[in-house]
């Protein structure tokens, strides 16, 4: 199990002793899944938060008309999960599946509670992490209200240049809240301009 990545991620926000590190690592489980396999399906209970070691996951929900909407992508060094389901142990509204073969580390609900108790600094780590996620989400909502799809796509490309190549356009379109047809038309227009 490769642990350097996750420890490094955590130590950007809090300091850990060797003991604390190995205690934390002892709480994690490892899993490898293939493309198109699921880590979570809607209406199940989300039992883990997932940290991606390699590969790429997405979370999405299905609306009343049966349409899929991508909520988040997670590549190496990112966490993903259904936070509400995980913390309240209620049925998930999100699905999480793999867009590539993916390796994850899993942190369960009891594990995280033990962690908070034995190493309170983790309370801080997760607070800061969620704080950042909240701010990002708030700004994404703001952009969806005040910017056109074209501007949002350009912003997306600038912010996540890796994703542009790595992800199918259908997924990007869904994340941006537009149809793949319209994204395709946008790309044609932008390519023509240059």
Binding-site ranges for DNA (CB under 7 A): 65, 148-150, 168-170, 177-185, 187-188
Q: In a 3-state reduction of DSSP, which class is residue 187?
A: helix
Q: Are 131 and 20 in contact (CB under 8 A)?
A: no
Q: Does 188 bind a copy of itself (CB under 8 A)?
A: no
- Which of 56, 90, 83, 77 shows the shortest CA–CA distance to 175? 56
Q: Does 142 bind a copy of itself (CB under 8 A)?
A: yes
| CB within 8 Å of 172: residues ≥ 6 apart | 153, 156, 163, 164, 183
Say how many CA atoms lie within 13 Å of 37 toward its Cβ: 12
- Which of 1, 2, 28, 24 shows the shortest CA–CA distance to 11? 24
Q: Does 118 bind a copy of itself (CB under 8 A)?
A: no
Q: Which does 127 bind (CB under 5 to 8 A by kind): DNA, a copy of itself, none?
A: a copy of itself
> Which of residues 18, 64, 158, 181 is near a copy of itself by CB under 8 A?
64
Pick the closer one to a copy of itself by CB: 61 or 160: 61
Q: Which does 116 bind (CB under 5 to 8 A by kind): DNA, a copy of itself, none?
A: a copy of itself
Q: Which does 11 bind (CB under 5 to 8 A by kind): a copy of itself, DNA, none?
A: none
In the complex, least distance from residue 64 CB atom to a copy of itself, rounded to whole angstroms: 8
Pick the closer one to a copy of itself by CB: 24 or 60: 60
Helix (H) and strand (E) counts for the chain?
9, 8
Pick the closer one to a copy of itself by CB: 109 or 140: 140
């Amino acid at each position: 199990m490769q642990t350097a990545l996750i420890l490094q991620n955590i130590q950007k926000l809090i300091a850990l002793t060797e003991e604390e590190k190995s205690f934390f690592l002892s709480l994690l489980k490892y899993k490898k899944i293939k493309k198109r396999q699921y880590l979570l399906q809607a209406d199940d209970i989300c039992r883990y938060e997932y940290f991606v070691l390699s590969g790429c996951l997405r979370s999405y929900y299905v609306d009343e008309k049966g349409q899929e909407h991508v909520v988040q992508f997670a590549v190496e060094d990112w966490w993903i999960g259904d936070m509400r389901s995980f913390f309240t142990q209620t049925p998930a509204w999100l699905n999480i599946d793999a867009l590539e073969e993916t390796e994850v580390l899993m942190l369960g609900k009891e594990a995280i509670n033990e962690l908070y108790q034995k190493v309170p600094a983790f309370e801080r780590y997760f607070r800061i992490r969620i704080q950042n996620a909240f701010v990002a989400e708030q700004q994404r909502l703001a952009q969806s209200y005040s910017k056109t799809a074209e501007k949002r796509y350009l912003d997306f490309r600038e912010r996540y240049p890796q994703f542009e190549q790595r992800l199918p356009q259908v997924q990007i379109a869904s994340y941006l809240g537009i149809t793949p047809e319209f994204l395709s038309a946008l790309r044609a227009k932008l390519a023509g301009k240059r």
